[in-house]
């Protein structure tokens, strides 16, 4: 291919030279005719179209998104074909060292049976140019050049370039280092380089495989997520924003937070852990939403506690004057807290208002220990599309934990554990804690026996509790019977303020 270009190049140069000569020595009328014929000759001899994609574009010399996407696409798809590669350290990537083709290198690609050529090039640098900018427009600029036969013009300019840009962005997203974000208090939003969200690298190891849960339930959730991920066109067709809400509910330690991590890992999404109590008002909530990216899970943990802000504020009002005199700054701070209010309607707007559609491909998850406490408006279908209950440890869930912690699929103690799990209410967190070897040499049997011991203890406690509850009931019953008897014997009975019956 390179040789072909060289030959073509010299031929073109010759034609151009002849054309310049003719232009100089021939009259205008003849020149026009010659120009038309020269162009025809050029088209005949050079049937290729070239498109260049410069690295920097626009007045502010912003790095072109198209260039970055093409570079990523070519690194993944064609870099193994290139003979000369360059290695670059890329920030925020899972694989920090990325290989791409070097300057003046060339690779081929194929699209729907059509062959195309990509070349990485750089314009000659101007030694006399002087600019304050590191990427001077006058200096050597990098660009990609795409060459293809003119008969495929429509296919390439529309479908192929779209495919390359989309694929490039998709690869970059796949290879990126995922982040766990948390919202900053708004007092810090306006400082130098301060943003609304702070982040760290998201590295939670939970997966659906390690999640202790019934297999059918797990599969149902996975299928739901897959359907959502592939549903871009479907959501567009039905005119619905591309987002989905999950409500995870259940007692503490049943795996709600673990499931969120497993979902994020499965979907390859970032996680935005929204601390509602740090959000001043509905406007701030909206601003936070706008600054989330797509392919993200927005989480509000313990939604029942987060929304109960008014109660907390009323309590603050009751600070004594003495305390305020001691610390006037604190008073100011509390005043500002008092003025902060995220309302239920603000939260509902956050979930499915008009702004919530920006960005797309987002999952919103609420967690709670007390599903009955939530306002029905918050969790109605359409808002929280799927309600998932995480409950006490079943035998099936135990088997997943045994595999995770002890690497065993079966054991003669399993049936005893199964029987105990049927009659006790113990969380996967408790089971996991007991399965964890306490010392280096602890074997499987010892760990399982320690779990059995813990389960038996829990069962005994529950039985004792039940008995004492029954005892209480019986006591009450006896009291009632005695009162009735007294009435029969002596006359009327009224209750005092403490509820103790006494006889008139
Ligand atoms: N279903 C589960 N599968 C695997 N591990 C679990 C599961 N449930 C709990 N665990 C273990 O217990 C620990 C606590 O679980 P997790 O934080 O997910 O519970 P939670 O339901 O979010 O509790 P809370 O309501 O208190 O926030 C986890 O670190 C994990 O090791
Ligand atoms: Mg949790």
Task: Say whether both 301 and 366 belong to one domain.
Answer: yes
Residues 277 and 348 reside in one and the same domain: yes
**Residue 497 has what pLDDT?**
33
- Same domain, residue pair 357 and 428: no
Taking 3-state DSSP, the helix, strand and coil percentages for the chain, each rounded to the nearest 5, stand at 50, 20, 30
> Are 84 and 113 found together in one domain?
yes
Range of the domain at 446: 408-478
What CATH code is carried by the domain that includes residue 302? 3.40.50.300
- What confidence score (pLDDT) does residue 359 get? 72
Instruction: Answer whether residue 335 is part of any domain.
Output: no
Are 163 and 223 in a shared domain?
A: no
Substitution candidate for ligand 1 out of 371, 432, 433, 434 with most atoms within 8 A of CB: 432
Same domain assignment for residues 361 and 421: no
Residues of the chain with pLDDT under 50: 129-138, 309-320, 335, 338-339, 487-504
Instruction: Please identify, among 147, 175, 203, the residue that sits at the C-terminal boundary of a domain.
Output: 175
Secondary structure element (H or E) that encloses residue 142, with its range: strand 142-149
Q: How far is the CA of 424 from the centre of ligand 1 (A)?
A: 18
* Number of domains the chain contains: 3
Does residue 484 belong to any structural domain of this protein?
no
Which is the closest atom of ligand 1 to the Cα of 212?
3
- 488 belongs to a structural domain: no
Residue 293: per-residue pLDDT: 87
Q: Indicate if 350 and 412 belong to the same structural domain.
A: no
How far, in Å, CA of 250 to CA of 371, rounded?
A: 8
79 with 171: CB under 8 angstroms?
no
Regarding whether 374 and 284 lie in a shared domain, the answer is yes
Atom of ligand 1 at shortest distance to CA of 258? 18
Q: Which residues pair with 248 in a beta bridge?
A: 367, 388
Residues in the chain: 504
Q: Is residue 94 part of a domain?
A: yes
* 256 CA distance to ligand 2 middle (Å): 5
Q: Ligand 1: residues whose CB is within 6 Å?
A: 211-213, 252-258, 369, 390, 428-429, 432
One domain for residues 350 and 208: yes
- Ligand 1 atom nearest the C-alpha of 404 is 4
Out of 258, 370, 389, give the residue to mutate to test ligand 1, the one with the largest number of ligand atoms within 8 Å of its CB: 258
Residue 197 lies in a domain: yes
- Supply the pLDDT for residue 423: 94
Same domain for 423 and 347: no
Looking at all shown ligands, the one closest to residue 427's CA atom is 1
pTM recorded for the entire structure: 0.72
CA-to-CA distance for 389 and 254, rounded, in angstroms?
A: 9
So what's the pLDDT on residue 76? Answer: 82
301 Cα to the center of ligand 2, angstroms: 7
| Residue 502: predicted pLDDT | 31
Query: What's the CA gap between 209 and 471, in Å, rounded?
Result: 45
Q: Specify the pLDDT at position 240.
A: 87
| Token pair in block for residue 361 | 């491909």
Query: 249 and 287: one domain?
Result: yes
pLDDT given at position 34: 74
- With the most atoms of ligand 1 within 8 angstroms of its CB, the residue from 214, 246, 257 to mutate is 257
Q: Note the pLDDT of residue 85.
A: 78
Cα separation, 41 vs 22, whole angstroms: 15
């Amino acid at each position: 291919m390179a040789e072909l270009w060289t030959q073509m190049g010299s031929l073109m140069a010759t034609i151009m030279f002849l054309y310049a000569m003719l232009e100089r020595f021939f009259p205008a009328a003849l020149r026009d005719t010659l120009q038309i014929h020269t162009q025809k000759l050029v088209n005949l001899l050079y049937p290729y179209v070239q498109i260049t994609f410069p690295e920097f574009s626009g007045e502010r010399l912003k790095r072109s998104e198209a260039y970055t996407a093409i570079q990523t696409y070519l690194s993944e798809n064609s870099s193994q074909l290139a003979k000369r590669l360059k290695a670059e350290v890329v920030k925020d990537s899972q694989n920090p060292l990325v290989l791409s083709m070097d300057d003046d290198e060339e690779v081929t690609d194929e699209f729907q049976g059509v062959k195309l050529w990509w070349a990485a090039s750089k314009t000659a640098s101007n030694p006399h140019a002087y600019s304050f900018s590191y990427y001077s427009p006058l200096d050597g600029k990098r660009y990609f050049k795409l060459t293809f036969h003119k008969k495929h013009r429509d296919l390439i300019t529309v479908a192929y370039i779209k495919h390359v840009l989309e694929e490039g962005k998709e690869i970059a997203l796949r290879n990126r280092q995922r982040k766990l974000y948390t919202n900053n208090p708004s007092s810090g939003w306006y400082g130098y380089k301060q943003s609304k969200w702070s982040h760290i690298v998201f590295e939670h190891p939970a997966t659906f495989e390690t999640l202790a849960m019934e297999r059918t339930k797990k599969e149902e959730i996975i299928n739901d997520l897959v359907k959502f991920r592939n549903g871009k066109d479907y959501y567009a067709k039905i005119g619905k924003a591309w987002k989905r809400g999950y409500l995870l509910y259940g007692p503490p330690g049943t795996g709600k937070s673990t499931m969120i991590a497993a979902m994020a890992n499965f979907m390859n999404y970032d996680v935005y852990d929204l601390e509602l109590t740090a959000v001043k008002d509905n406007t701030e909530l909206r601003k936070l939403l706008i600054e989330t990216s797509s392919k993200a899970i927005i989480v509000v943990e313990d939604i029942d506690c987060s929304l109960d802000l008014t109660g907390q504020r009323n309590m603050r009002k009751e600070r004594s004057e003495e305390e305020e005199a001691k610390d006037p700054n604190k008073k100011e701070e509390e005043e500002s807290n008092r003025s902060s209010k995220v309302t239920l309607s603000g939260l509902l707007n956050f979930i499915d208002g008009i702004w919530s559609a920006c960005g797309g491909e987002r999952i919103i998850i609420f967690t709670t220990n007390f599903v009955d406490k939530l306002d029905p408006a918050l969790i109605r279908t359409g808002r929280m599309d799927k309600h998932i209950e995480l409950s006490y440890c079943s035998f099936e869930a135990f088997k997943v934990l045994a595999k995770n912690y002890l690497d065993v699929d079966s054991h003669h103690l399993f049936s005893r554990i199964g029987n105990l799990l049927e009659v006790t209410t113990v969380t996967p967190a408790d089971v996991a804690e007991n399965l964890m070897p306490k010392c280096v040499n602890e074997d499987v049997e010892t760990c399982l026996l320690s779990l059995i011991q813990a389960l038996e203890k829990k069962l005994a406690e529950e039985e004792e509790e039940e008995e004492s509850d029954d005892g209480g009931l019986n006591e009450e019953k006896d009291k009632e019977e005695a009162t009735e008897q007294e009435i029969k014997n002596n006359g009327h009975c009224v209750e005092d303020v403490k509820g103790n019956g006494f006889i008139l």
